[in-house]
Amino acid sequence: MISKESKLLGVILAVLGVVLFSAKAVMVKLAYVYDIDSVSLLLLRMLFSLPVYLIIAFIVKPKNKSELKSMDYLWLLFFGFVGYYLASYFDFQGLNYIKASLERIVLFIYPTLVLLISRIFLKTKITKIQILAIIVTYLGVLLAFSGELDLSGSHLYKGVGLIFLSALTYAMYLVGSGWLIPKFGVVCFTAYAMIVSTVCVSIHYVATQDIDLLSYPKEVYYLGGMMAVLSTIIPSFLVSQSIKIIGSSNFSIVASIGPVSTILLAYIFLGEKLSFFQIVGTVVIILGITLVSKGKKTN
């Protein structure tokens, strides 16, 4: 059991990490103005981030290197592939078929998936406060997007299925990172996982794209660099540290603020309208996060 002060710190780090990750959506919209495809933009983001992670991986060694087994490294490869590559790929693909509002609602079922996966594979107890927090945050997400939800479209089920796969793979990553971080250490694990995901995105780009990555306007590279620093490097370490403190289950609940922070950032930087239901939903989600920070137990 951790102290209330430490748990509050973990929640604050989680919120900061999630908000910075959410800023990526605004930058992506700004970059799409210059007619760049999603895989190329994702690769730019990862390539700008890669030098930092390589330096960190060279300097910082695993926390308990002598105790690590070959299977631990294999799991690290798997979760690096699943978390920052596969989940993003499914998400981008799903957005081709459904509206962003529905995508966010489907995607944010992953806190439940995290709890279920943790319960099945790690025998982690699901507390009453976690169940209540999930219900409250889900209600907030639904309220925030209730005015935008549109179930029309012939490709609805395909899109929803892809977004569900994104939620599932991200949930798998959160559970796996919560288990592996104590073995590798926060900084080392994050650097290794991001290097793995960069390699995966690079392979995907080489196999599927025939566009010169250096042919875009300079604004695209500025946005790619900003995504690398503000929405990849910094939040990746904040999230890993948060998971270390409060556990993957509690982090997944706090991360429900993600879609709402995207709404607010889009309102500020893109001029998108902010509805009454979005404001109410934001308040409800913050209430759910508060329940997590005041809970007496953590995983």
For range 5-24, the mean pLDDT: 88
* Summary mean pLDDT of the chain: 83
For range 114-137, the mean pLDDT: 83
SS (H, E, C) the chain: CCCHHHHHHHHHHHHHHHHHHHHHHHHHHHHHCCCCCHHHHHHHHHHHHHHHHHHHHHHCCCCCHHHCCHHHHHHHHHHHHHHHHHHHHHHHHHCCCCCHHHHHHHHCCHHHHHHHHHHHHCCCCCCHHHHHHHHHHHHHHHHHHCCCCCCCCCCHHHHHHHHHHHHHHHHHHHHHHHHHHHHHCHHHHHHHHHHHHHHHHHHHHHHHCCCCCCCCCHHHHHHHHHHHHHHHHHHHHHHHHHHHHHHHHHHHHHHHHHHHHHHHHHHHHCCCCCCHHHHHHHHHHHHHHHHHHHCCCCC
180 has pLDDT over 80: yes
Residue 248, in any domain of the structure: yes
Residue with structure tokens 């406060």?
Answer: 129
How far apart (Å, rounded) are the C-alpha atoms in residues 217 and 240?
Answer: 34
pLDDT single digits (tens) 22-78: 788 788 888 888 888 888 988 999 999 999 999 999 999 887 788 889 999 999 999
Torsion of CA 200, 203, 205, 207, to 10 degrees: -140
How many domains does the chain fold into? 1
21 neighbors 231 (Cβ within 8 angstroms)? yes
Residue 285, in any domain of the structure: yes
Residue 140, in any domain of the structure: yes
**pLDDT value for 102:** 66
Residue 299, in any domain of the structure: no
pLDDT single digits (tens) 193-204: 999 999 999 999
Residue 23, in any domain of the structure: yes
User: Can you read off the two tokens belonging to residue 197?
Assistant: 């995901």
Residue 210, in any domain of the structure: yes
Structural domain of residue 165, as residue ranges?
Answer: 4-294
Residue 135, in any domain of the structure: yes
* Helical pair 100-107 and 258-269, crossing angle rounded to 10 deg: 150
Residue 52, in any domain of the structure: yes
**pLDDT value for 148:** 61
How far apart (Å, rounded) are the C-alpha atoms in residues 164 and 211?
Answer: 29
**pLDDT value for 230:** 94
296 has pLDDT over 70: no
